[in-house]
Amino acid sequence: MALPTKRRNPFIAAWRRWIAFLFICGLAFWLWVLRPFPGEMDENQKASLKPLPALGAVLDGTTVSGLSSGAYMAGQFQLAHADIVTGAAIIAGGPFACAESAFSGIVPDAGLEVLSASRAASGCMLDTLALYGVPDANKLANRARELSEAGRIGDISDVVTDRLYIFSGLNDQVVMPRIVGKTVEFYRNLGVPEANIAAVMDLPAGHAIITLDKGGGCSVNAAPYIVDCDYDQVGAVFTHLLQPVVQPTGPAQGRFIEFDQHAFANELRGHGLSTSAMVYVPPVCEDGGCRVHVAFHGCRQNRNAVAAAFVRDAGYARWADANKIIVLFPEVSESALNNPLGCWDWWGYTGRDYLTREGDQITAIRRMLDRLATPSVGA
């Protein structure tokens, strides 16, 4: 006589499969979170890093540029240290404080970061969420004035004398040209004269820094975010910002130095900076007296993501040699929890002060500039 088979409860079986699935997903997530990102240095590599050199640089007349998140950071640093910055190039970036949530004064940090990130993606990049629409340039200019009056950023009277280069490619699918157009309006509303603003919006470029002969096809929106449009964008930036400018006559002759970046952020919590960064020093700048240009990479454009493409192929070095400019290339790293694409902080992942002189990233970069301005040994 055959024994009766025990019938399985299909609900319990499905429940067990669901629990197992959740467990595997949770385990995979935490393994991903805790994994080291490619390019992280071990202790021996960190110990071998050189310090950022003291070069007796002149900080009055500092200029900045950046792509995408780097464009936002360029604008933030410009306003935070308006006393030394005299020009900024905003390449595929929106206006200052674009992502700041209206609830920034009342929502706890974690919730505020989520709200600001949502606004950043949908109201300051793709313009897809009707709730946000395009940025209100007048309100953002008033916000800058409020922060200035509170002593948290520089004096607006220093900003209105600056020279601005603002760019958006016709084929940019990451930060919409309408958003970048609001950057132009923002500076106009601050009082920057029309003659000081070079707005270039008519080239068929993708989301990238554009060059004469480096990178992918002109309309590409992909890493390394450097494209060939037969246009020397860095040259156009320097030509407009420096006034007067010297044309380069040959290849770069200076040295690229990888330095210990964490030395400038030891006590800063959650700064997000990479262990190391790069600086380019023209031969003429070894003995002091040169100005500084700060070049901010975009998301997915640090050296972990694109090797040295941004540092070497964008075209800064030749123009730096000809015009006695030290080029500082600060760098942020990826974080699985709050910055998986390696973006500069323009929505608050490092804290509420990210727009101001008290922001961790802005603080660390100013310290790097102060180090470059320190007289060199023997000078």
Whether 293 is catalytic is no
- Look up residue 195 and give its DSSP letter: G
Site of tokens 């002109």: 218
**From 69, 162, 207, 276, the catalytic residue:** 207
Cβ-based neighbour number of residue 315 at 10 Å:
23
Spatial contact of 253 and 289, defined as CB atoms under 8 Å apart: no
Label residue 133 left, alpha or beta by phi (over 0 means left) and psi (-120 to 50 means alpha): left
**From 172, 313, 321, 360, the catalytic residue:** 172
3-state secondary structure of 25: helix
For 71-128, the DSSP string reads HHHHHHHHHHTTTTEEEEEEES---TTTT--TTTTTS-HHHHHHHHHHHHHHHTTS--
**From 68, 101, 148, 274, the catalytic residue:** 68
Spatial contact of 206 and 298, defined as CB atoms under 8 Å apart: no
Site of tokens 């002969």: 213
Cα gap 254→330, rounded to integer Å: 18
Spatial contact of 315 and 233, defined as CB atoms under 8 Å apart: yes
3-state secondary structure of 264: helix
Whether 68 is catalytic is yes
Buried b (16+ CB within 10 A) or exposed e, 13-39: eeeeeeeeeeeeeeeeeeeeeeeeeee
Site of tokens 């310090």: 51
Taking each helix axis from N to C terminus, what angle separates 69-80 and 137-149, rounded to the nearest 10 degrees? Answer: 40
The dihedrals phi and psi of 32, each to the nearest 5 degrees, come to: -70, -45
Whether 172 is catalytic is yes
Residues annotated catalytic, as ranges: 68, 172, 207
